């Protein structure tokens, strides 16, 4: 093969240069909110965190998935996924304010709230207390950071040494790693989001977060890949075939998320038990109800119908629009899940709920762009590389884009 | 999708080949069709068939007695009014799911390794669904009125309750049986034609000729055939999820602790695939040995099936962890009691046996060496099959026998007739299976030919 540089395009710098100041300014404005309304600040902050942490952690899941299954689609997004997992230290830093704000977020931090119900007393003693909450969060982050560290390290070592045994190592780690991912995300979602209402529970809640975090990560990666393929080096590597496969995976995850979310709704609706429907009641009335309907239509029905089309999946310009729609709907769905815990059926959105995800997103994107630019965009010494290139080209020759 | 042969799909890592080297179009056709047409029927076939057929008689006997005497014959009574019949219904229908997954989903995912096991797995699906379907119909008490389950205009003023998942079951299972049968039959047509052309006795020529429906293998036939097969695969795919999801709703929409859990749909689907792959392995490991089919059903198949079994087993394990954790976390008195009762109550032996069979033992599948040992794999599959039966026993019985009011608690003891019915369905299942391997090609001849190296076309 000719000598080709697979370094990230210089255009990536522009993304960093724009995202960083924008994120910093918005984040600074958000901090003003901290002094105006502390409760609102922490709610909006948790909401923003639930979205961006989802992309970091979800990318870790996709990274392990592609190591386990192999395939061209996984190869072309690997470096993007790796960069996204390297934002996990940033997410750890951004998690600290949630511990500091636990008092404004979680009713179980208030002794008088706990005393209302005997069941809560025991629950708070054994599980929902701040010390254990912090210990558990430390465990989740330790697992995620360790998995991300090894997968990133072995990948760059393979770039340098061309040793194919690293592929096997990454695959072997990814099996148990994926199991750990599912369990840590489950318990993180219980701790961070479900316990906002400490008396409510649902056994599929963890799966809903597993699917939705993986979905938002995939939508993000598709968007990033669509932008990167405009420039060298990915221009010559990524083929419509890869977008086709990624689009299929996106469709599968959209359906999986919908399946989980609908199962939860139908079972709780049928049982009609007061302690269970209390979670849905404020969320299906008034403006929250309208959002719920929008989620059904725009998070499931539209993406589902669009993604059935073969030509749409093969066209990055169109696929990126669907991915964008899914990302916006992920935000809306998280807002719908988190905010009514505080507002009840009264619909209220603060300016902070708009500034927080944007500000945090600016910082996240700048960090991501910085990480992405540090390594070649293709795992050059991966044994799969040649066959992926060949495969892409042989299909490009007779495919209608 | 069909126009895209490429080989970097999931599970490509296994370096073992899909088919053994050295096979040609002719040798594939000879080898598979000779089992049906030429080879002498082996003695073990007669023995196996006879034994299955005898057990099958137990089923007929039980059903006859059941129709005359009513379902009091079984051990079901309040509070456990759903005993072995729903448990065996769920067990059998779960087994069927592996066949549909292999034939439909793996086809859409372009997994070539499915080719040598799909025909067999689909047959297993059909036969398992047949066993499953018998239970709810017999539980009606008056099975000759089963058509009342369907919404049809009548003068009696009866109409099904559409909010009940039992009603959805009627549609889900009957659709499942229909689509599976069609998929299987359509897949068989080109092979029927091969058998028709190769059969030497008149009755067989006539039989296979009728079944081949005038297949001549023209380009137009093939074109339409491929399209129909792909469409049927698309239709069958959602059924893998929908059938067991609705089966899980049978339990989950009620408010009985131990049944009313939102995790049930994915957990049941995974459990079904888990049990199904265990059954496929349980049957293919001896069959491939007995008929010398090692060059078709290679170690690659064994590895991949073992991996699917491990993955779905882990999801099932996740379900148990969630049930136990949320039993406590919910803070609900009855939920906590339900979990305590499962672990320490009168049926705790079943619970711990199930944890051992379904969660602990299958962890051996992580180790490649053990996955490659067919005896170990076969024993593990047997353990999983038993474990999945125990799982349904625990869900059905422990949840019902002690619900909200201690005064209405009770114990459940399956009667002898419960067991004869269950053993009878196993006999019926194997009777059908033995007939299948004797009279139909258990591996798809024409699809095997397409994955041979000879079939590769330079574009």
Rg value, chain A, Cα: 22
- Domains in chain B: ranges and CATH: 23-144+161-458 (1.20.1630.10)
What are the φ and ψ backbone dihedral angles of B447, each rounded to 5 degrees? -75, -35
Residue-level pLDDT, tens digit, chain B, 459 residues: 333 334 334 444 445 667 777 788 888 888 888 888 877 889 999 999 999 999 999 999 999 999 999 999 999 998 999 899 999 999 999 998 888 888 888 887 777 788 888 888 899 999 999 999 999 999 998 999 999 999 999 999 889 999 999 999 999 999 999 999 999 999 999 999 999 999 888 999 999 999 999 999 899 999 999 899 888 888 888 888 899 999 999 999 999 999 999 999 999 999 999 999 999 999 999 998 988 888 888 888 899 899 999 999 999 999 999 999 999 999 899 999 999 999 999 999 999 999 999 999 999 999 999 999 999 999 999 999 999 999 999 999 999 999 899 999 999 999 999 999 999 999 999 999 999 999 999 888 888 888 787 776 654
CB contact under 8 A, B13 and A70: yes
Amino acid A382: pLDDT: 82
Cα–Cα distances (Å) from B220 to B216, B223, B459, in that order, read 10, 5, 21
**What's the CA gap between A139 and A128, in Å, rounded?**
15
Identify the closest residue of chain B to A66 by CA–CA distance.
B10
**What's the CA gap between B394 and B406, in Å, rounded?**
19
The closest CB to that of B260, out of A204, A259, A271, belongs to A271
Give the Cβ contact number of residue B192 at 10 Å.
20
The closest CB to that of B326, out of A117, A203, A267, belongs to A203
B156-199, pLDDT tens digit by residue?
988 999 999 999 999 999 999 999 999 999 999 999 999 999 98
Chain A contact present for B168, CB below 8 A: no
How far off is chain A from B249, nearest CA to CA, in Å?
A: 7
Task: Determine contact, residues B191/B446, Cβ cutoff 8 Å.
Answer: yes
Q: Report whether the peptide linkage leading into residue A233 is cis, meaning its omega lies within 30 degrees of zero.
A: yes
Amino acid A43: pLDDT: 95
Class of residue B148 by CB neighbours under 10 A (exposed 0-12, middle 13-18, buried 19+)? middle
State the average pLDDT for chain B.
89
Torsion region of A284: left, alpha or beta (phi above 0 gives left; psi -120 to 50 gives alpha): alpha
Amino acid B238: pLDDT: 86
Chain B contact present for A172, CB below 8 A: no
**What's the CA gap between B324 and B350, in Å, rounded?**
16
**Chain B residues with beta carbon closer than 8 angstroms to that of A127:** 329
Chain B contact present for A203, CB below 8 A: yes
Amino acid B426: pLDDT: 96
Of the candidates B333, B326, B324, B405, the one whose C-alpha atom is nearest the C-alpha of residue A119 is B333
**What's the CA gap between B349 and B343, in Å, rounded?**
8
ipTM score: 0.93
CB contact under 8 A, A263 and B11: no
**Which residue carries 């058509």 as its tokens?**
B147
**What's the CA gap between A189 and A218, in Å, rounded?**
19
- B304: its two tokens: 């991949």
CB contact under 8 A, A267 and B252: yes
- A144: its two tokens: 């995620």
Cα–Cα distances (Å) from A226 to A84, A232, A246, A315, B403, in that order, read 16, 12, 11, 9, 55
The closest CB to that of A179, out of B261, B314, B332, belongs to B314
Residue-level pLDDT, tens digit, chain A, 401 residues: 445 677 878 788 888 889 999 999 999 999 999 999 999 999 999 999 999 999 999 999 999 999 998 878 888 999 999 999 999 999 999 999 999 999 999 999 999 989 988 889 999 999 999 999 999 999 999 999 999 999 999 999 998 888 888 999 999 999 999 999 999 999 999 999 999 999 999 999 999 999 999 999 999 999 999 999 888 887 788 888 899 999 999 999 999 999 999 999 999 999 999 999 999 999 999 999 999 999 999 999 999 999 999 999 999 999 999 999 999 999 999 999 999 999 988 998 999 999 999 999 999 999 999 999 988 888 877 888 877 777 766 655 444 33
Amino acid B130: pLDDT: 94
**What's the CA gap between B116 and B396, in Å, rounded?**
36
**What's the CA gap between B224 and B375, in Å, rounded?**
42
- A302: its two tokens: 């539209």
**What's the CA gap between B427 and B48, in Å, rounded?**
10
Helix (H, G, I), strand (E, B) or coil at A193: coil
Helix-then-strand count for chain A, H and E: 19, 0
**Which residue carries 């007939």 as its tokens?**
B435
**Chain A residues with beta carbon closer than 8 angstroms to that of B265:** 204, 259, 263, 267
**What's the CA gap between A282 and A66, in Å, rounded?**
39
């Amino acid at each position: 093969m000719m000598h080709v540089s697979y370094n990230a395009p210089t255009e990536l710098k522009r993304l960093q240069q724009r995202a960083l100041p924008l994120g910093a300014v918005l984040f600074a404005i958000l901090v003003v909110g901290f002094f105006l309304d502390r409760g609102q600040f922490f709610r909006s902050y948790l909401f923003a965190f639930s979205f961006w942490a989802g992309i970091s952690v979800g990318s870790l899941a996709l990274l392990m998935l592609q190591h386990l299954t192999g395939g061209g689609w996984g190869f072309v997004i690997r470096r993007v996924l790796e960069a996204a997992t390297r934002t996990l230290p940033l997410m750890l830093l951004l998690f600290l304010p949630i511990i500091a704000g636990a008092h404004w977020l979680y009713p179980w931090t208030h002794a008088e709230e706990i005393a209302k119900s005997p069941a809560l007393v025991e629950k708070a003693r054994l599980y929902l207390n701040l010390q254990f909450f912090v210990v558990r969060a430390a465990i989740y982050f330790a697992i995620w950071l360790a998995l991300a560290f090894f997968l990133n390290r072995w990948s760059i070592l393979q770039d340098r040494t061309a040793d194919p045994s690293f592929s096997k190592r990454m695959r072997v780690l990814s099996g148990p790693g994926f199991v750990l991912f599912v369990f840590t995300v489950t318990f993180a979602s219980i701790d961070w989001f479900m316990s906002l209402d400490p008396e409510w529970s649902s056994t599929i809640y963890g799966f809903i977060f597993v699917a939705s975090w993986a979905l938002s990560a995939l939508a993000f990666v598709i968007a990033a890949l669509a932008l990167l393929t405009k420039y060298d080096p990915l221009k010559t590597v990524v083929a419509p075939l890869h977008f086709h496969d990624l689009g299929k995976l996106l469709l599968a995850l959209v359906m999986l998320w919908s399946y989980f979310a609908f199962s939860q709704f139908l079972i709780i609706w049928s049982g009609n038990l007061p302690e269970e429907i209390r979670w849905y009641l404020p969320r299906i009335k008034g403006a929250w109800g309208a959002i719920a309907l929008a989620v059904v239509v725009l998070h499931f029905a539209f993406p589902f119908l669009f993604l059935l089309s073969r030509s749409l999946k093969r066209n990055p310009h169109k696929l990126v629009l669907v991915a964008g729609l899914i990302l916006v709907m992920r935000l809306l769905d998280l807002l719908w899940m988190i905010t009514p815990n505080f507002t009840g059926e009264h619909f209220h959105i603060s300016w902070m709920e708009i500034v927080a995800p944007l500000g945090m997103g600016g910082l996240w994107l700048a960090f991501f762009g910085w990480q992405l630019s540090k390594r070649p965009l293709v795992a050059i010494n991966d044994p799969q590389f040649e066959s992926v290139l060949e495969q892409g080209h042989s299909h490009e020759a007779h495919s209608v884009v | 999708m069909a126009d895209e042969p490429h080989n970097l799909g999931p599970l490509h890592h296994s370096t073992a080949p899909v088919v053994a080297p050295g096979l040609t179009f002719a040798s594939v056709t000879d080898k598979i069709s000779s089992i049906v047409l030429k080879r002498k029927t082996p003695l073990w076939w007669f023995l196996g068939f006879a034994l299955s057929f005898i057990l099958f008689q137990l089923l007929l006997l039980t059903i006859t007695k059941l129709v005359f005497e009513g379902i009091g014959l079984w051990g079901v009574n309040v509070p456990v009014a759903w005993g072995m019949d729903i448990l065996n219904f769920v067990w059998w229908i779960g087994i069927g799911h592996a066949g549909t997954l292999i034939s439909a989903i793996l086809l859409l995912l372009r997994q070539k390794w499915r080719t040598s096991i799909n025909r067999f797995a689909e047959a297993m699906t059909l036969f398992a669904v047949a066993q499953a379907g018998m239970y709810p119909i017999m539980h009606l008490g008056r099975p000759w009125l089963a058509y009342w389950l369907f919404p049809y205009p009548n003068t009696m003023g009866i109409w099904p309750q559409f909010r009940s998942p039992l009603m959805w079951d009627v549609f889900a299972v009957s659709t499942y049986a229909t689509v599976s049968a069609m998929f299987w039959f359509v897949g068989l047509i080109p092979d029927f034609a091969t058998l028709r052309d190769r059969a030497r006795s008149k009755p067989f020529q006539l039989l296979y000729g009728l079944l081949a429906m005038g297949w001549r293998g023209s380009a137009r036939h093939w074109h339409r055939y491929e399209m129909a097969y792909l469409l049927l695969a698309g239709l069958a795919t959602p059924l893998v999820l929908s059938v067991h999801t609705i089966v899980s709703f049978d339990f989950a929409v009620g408010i009985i602790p131990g049944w009313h859990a939102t995790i049930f749909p994915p957990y049941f689907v995974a459990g079904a695939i888990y049990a199904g792959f265990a059954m496929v392995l349980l049957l293919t490991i001896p069959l491939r040995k007995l008929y010398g089919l090692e060059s078709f059903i290679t170690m690659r198949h064994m590895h991949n099936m073992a991996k699917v079994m491990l993955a779905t087993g882990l999801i099932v394990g996740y379900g148990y962890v969630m049930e136990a954790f949320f039993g406590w976390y919910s803070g609900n008195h009855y939920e906590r009691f339900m979990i305590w009762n499962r672990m320490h109550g009168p049926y705790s032996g079943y619970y711990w046996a199930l944890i051992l069979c379904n969660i602990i033992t299958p962890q051996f599948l992580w180790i490649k060496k053990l996955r490659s040992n067919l005896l170990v794999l076969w024993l593990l599959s047997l353990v999983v099959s038993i474990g999945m039966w125990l799982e349904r026993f625990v869900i059905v019985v422990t949840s019902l026998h002690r619900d909200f009011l201690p005064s209405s608690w009770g114990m459940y003891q399956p009667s002898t007739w419960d067991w004869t019915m269950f053993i009878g369905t196993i006999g019926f299942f194997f009777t059908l299976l033995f007939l299948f391997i004797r009279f139909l090609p258990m591996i798809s001849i024409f699809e095997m030919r397409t994955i041979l190296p000879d079939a590769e076309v330079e574009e």
